[in-house]
């Protein structure tokens, strides 16, 4: 699997998600897709980012855009996080980092002076034909979701 490149088709994948669903990219053709990677459920930045996607969800739907959040957390943790925050979209569990590696979001990070490998907050916008149109890496949460929405509306 090669890392997605702007204006190139994204390698098809199937991943396990909340609500007893699985997400297969090729089955989403006809809709734009936002895949956002975040480090951990129920942490402040990740909660705010998810809430922003939730709050603009209807506008994403109006722009024919599906939203999926991805982290390495378990499905059970995802279900709790989704229910607590009333997320209207599914969260993908990626404990073996298959999607994380596909999108190259596992990076060396520092926390309290200790280095570890973790998810770099990143968002990818795929058009209705399965082609990567935008990517945001090293995302700062404030204002990010509105920027993604504008890009989705422009497709």
Catalytic residue positions, numbered: 46
Look at residue 9 and give its three-state secondary structure. strand
DSSP 53-98: HHHTHHHHHHTTEEEEEEESS-HHHHHHHHHHHT-SSEEEE-TT-H
DSSP state of 11: P
């Amino acid at each position: 699997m090669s890392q997605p490149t702007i204006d190139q088709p994204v390698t098809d994948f199937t991943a396990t998600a909340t609500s007893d669903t699985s997400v297969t990219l090729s089955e989403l053709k006809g809709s734009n897709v936002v895949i956002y990677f975040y480090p951990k459920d129920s942490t402040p930045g990740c909660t705010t980012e998810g809430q922003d996607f939730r709050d603009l969800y209807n506008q994403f739907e109006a722009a024919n855009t599906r939203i999926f959040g991805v982290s390495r957390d378990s499905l059970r943790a995802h279900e709790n996080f989704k229910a607590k925050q009333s997320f209207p979209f599914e969260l993908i569990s990626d404990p073996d980092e298959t999607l994380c590696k596909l999108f190259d979001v596992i990076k060396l990070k520092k926390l309290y002076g200790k280095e570890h490998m973790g998810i770099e907050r990143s968002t990818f916008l795929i058009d209705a034909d399965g082609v990567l149109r935008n990517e945001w890496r090293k995302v700062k949460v404030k204002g990010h979701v509105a920027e993604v929405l504008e890009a989705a509306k422009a497709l």
